[in-house]
Amino acid sequence: MIASVAIAIGGVGLFLLGMLMLTDGLRQLAGGAMRRTLAKYTRTPTSGAFAGAITTALIQSSSATTVTAIGFVGAGLLSFSQALGIIFGANIGTTITGWLVALLGFKLNIGLAAMPLILVGALLKMFGSARLRNVGGAVAGFSLLFVGIDLMQEGMAAFEGVVTPADFPPDTWFGRFLLLLIGVAITVVTQSSSAGVATAMVALGAGAISFPQAAAMVIGMDVGTTFTAALATVGGSTAMRRTGFAHVIYNLLTGAMAFLLVVPYTGLVGVWLTDSATGNVQVALVGFHTLFNTIGVVLVLPFANLFARFIEHLVPKSGPELERSLDKGLLQDSAAATDAAITATRMIANETFELVAALIDQRRGRQANKIRVQEIERAIGVTLDYWDKIPFMDKQHALKQQHTSAMHALDHLDRLHNRCVQAERIDALYSDHRLTRLAKLLGDALAADFADDGLIGDEHAMDRLRQLMREERTVVRNKTIHEATDEGTAWPDMMRSLDGARWLHRVSYHIWRIVFHLNNMMPSEAMTKTKSP
């Protein structure tokens, strides 16, 4: 008996290991394709649900899909309601694992045939190219799923007739609720609803539990997946906490609905359940899992925008605005973290440019500008630290290029920030009519160039402005020195004008380089969104 328990537990472990290897391999193979698919096809919550379901089914990881969606929200590429569609769809996509197990593991019983594939996968993992190593990991993981199922069945076979449905809470409303809690506990411990569903299938096939009992446990496993989302609400960013709360509330509502469907669904498939064909009962269980998730999505999608507003009201924005996109929870996904860091960098640039315009326009309050200077200084430091923590893989050349451009942009932002505290040089702009006119030209150019989206400017326009300021600096220098020589202008006044001219030139130079690097680090998904009607 002890040996059978050990075998069953080992089977669960192999199944979990297989899931980890399969999802990691598929996720690496999908790479940027998953991100491009989600960004391209998510226009509404409904299209997001389709994209989320398909993507999750392909990469076998609802958490990867969810993290990507959160990253897009933080980066401003998707609205929160659009991201909710992706998250809802991921709940459907994750049920594909159950179908694979039910149809291949129980109907076809391919556990023995899958064993040689483990060696194939291991060899590819050890000796293949980067892409083949990912293929090898996915193949080995896929095979381990069914080896794990076989071991679970072998271990549970010893309990057939010993452990019966009578040993579990009875098939009553309260009994089903207790079974639901057992399902929650299983998922919390294993951190995988797929492993829990597979375990329920094995127990169901061994006659240890009845179909209504298994259905109640599966509902609990679906609710148990919100445990990780709930943890993300503690200390996470606004986007992460909103997503966590939305996931918890949605799954609880879907679970309550599914709880009411257990009896009618059991009656509907009752005739089929009495069929002695192998695997029928497991297919029926997976069908129930997919059915209540699909119904839940269909019911909530018409109210996605209303639901999003409710969650936004429940979880208001918090923390410094310039740093809100820097979600530490996204650091597990280098692409999502890069999008978040790019958004923060662009927001800092926008705020700094607005500060420059405010400093030029002396009618604005200096005290408010002083506070903005401090906020920008802090945001630059925090963003640099975040960029430094993003883990880049060797083959992620595009992300590394974005990182390089961001470092250049932040370096120029830091130097531009230092120019913003040079009060005497800024005051010098209004000691000379020519400098005053040039300062107004710079302020107007900033206002016009960043009026549309407040983040991306015209690099060529900024370069022309920089060239003009360089030429005007020479003109002011020659004019000032000439006046000092011929008209006896005081040396301090001359230096004051020269300092103002230098300030304008250096500020315009930093702005040009910042805009240049901002455009270079724009993610492709963001460019797609920008061009969309």
Please state the three-class secondary structure of 251-294 as a single string: HHHHHHHHHHHHHHHHHHCHHHHCCCCCCHHHHHHHHHHHHHHH
Residue 255: pLDDT band (50, 70, 90) is very high
Number of alpha carbons in the 13 Å side-chain half-sphere of residue 507: 31
Cα–Cα nearest to 73, from 526, 441, 487, 506 = 526
Reported as a pLDDT band with limits 50, 70 and 90, residue 529 is very low
pLDDT digits (tens, 9 = 90+) for 38-91: 878 888 889 989 988 988 888 877 777 877 787 777 667 778 888 889 889 988
Average per-residue pLDDT for the chain: 82
Q: Is the pLDDT of residue 412 over 90?
A: yes
Tally Cβ neighbours within 10 Å of residue 532. 9
pLDDT in tens, 131-189: 888 899 989 988 888 888 888 888 877 776 667 677 888 878 899 899 999 999 888 88
Q: What is the pLDDT of residue 456?
A: 55
pLDDT(533) > 80: no
Sign of the CA dihedral with 456 first, then 457, 459, and 465 last:
negative
What would the two tokens of residue 329 be? 């929870």
Domains in the chain, CATH or no CATH each: 2-314 (no CATH), 322-531 (1.20.58)
**pLDDT band, residue 366 (cuts 50/70/90):** low
Question: Which of 40, 4, 48 minimizes the C-alpha distance to 300?
Answer: 48
* Among 92, 166, 336, CA closest to 237: 336
- pLDDT-derived band at 528 (thresholds 50, 70, 90) equals very low
Is the dihedral angle over the CA atoms 21, 24, 27, 28 positive or is it negative? Answer: negative
User: Picking from 285-289, 423-427, 525-529, which range would have the lowest pLDDT averaged per residue?
Assistant: 525-529
Q: Would you give the end-to-end CA distance of the chain in angstroms? A: 65
Question: Where residue 229 falls among pLDDT bands split at 50, 70, 90?
Answer: low
Question: Cβ-count burial of 454 within 10 angstroms (0-12 exposed, 13-18 middle, 19+ buried)?
Answer: middle
Q: Whole-angstrom Cα distance, residue 22 to residue 451? A: 47
Could you tell me the pLDDT band of residue 367, with boundaries at 50, 70 and 90? low
Contact (Cβ atoms closer than 8 angstroms) between residue 506 and residue 418: no
Single out the residue of 47, 63, 40 nearest to residue 247, CA to CA: 63
Cβ atoms of residues 85 and 54 within 8 Å: no
pLDDT value at position 228? 67
399: Cα separation from own chain's centroid? 15
